[in-house]
């Protein structure tokens, strides 16, 4: 029996530490789609629900489901400079990305 491949939609999600200690999750491809959680895992789980709710509302209102997003590559030297200006070490920046 052939197994069916599950179709997956991948959307970008950003995580940021809020002033209250919660992790804020945002999906920049869907304007206004934001959630939060006490941990990284909880924030990522909560943003899934927020994405589904936002997509449903946008569909009901006849709005485009997502907006165009782009990724840009930064020169390694420029990236290091930006990390230092933010008051971080490269190791701290990399740890946050995990």
Q: Residue written as tokens 């999750």?
A: 25
User: Given CA atoms 60, 61, 63, 67 in this order, what sign does their dihedral have?
Assistant: negative
Tell me, what's the pLDDT at 95? 67
**In this structure, what token pair is assigned to residue 40?**
């990284």
41-51 pLDDT, tens digit per residue, is: 999 999 999 99
| CATH class of the domain defined by 10-67 | alpha beta
**Measured at the alpha carbon of residue 43, what is the angle toward residues 25 and 98, in degrees to the nearest 5?**
80
Element (H, E) at 36: strand 34-37
Tell me, what's the pLDDT at 47? 97
Residue 30 DSSP SS3: coil
**In this structure, what token pair is assigned to residue 32?**
């206004």
Q: What is the mean pLDDT of residues 78-98?
A: 77
């Amino acid at each position: 029996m052939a197994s069916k491949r599950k179709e997956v939609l991948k959307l970008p999600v950003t995580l940021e530490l809020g002033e209250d200690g919660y992790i804020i999750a945002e999906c920049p491809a869907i304007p206004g789609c934001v959630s939060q959680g006490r941990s990284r895992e909880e924030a990522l789980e909560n943003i899934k629900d927020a994405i589904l709710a936002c997509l449903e509302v946008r569909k009901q209102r006849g709005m485009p489901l997502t907006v165009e997003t782009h990724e840009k590559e930064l020169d390694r030297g420029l990236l290091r400079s930006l990390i230092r200006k933010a008051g971080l070490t490269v190791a701290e920046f990399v740890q946050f990305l995990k």
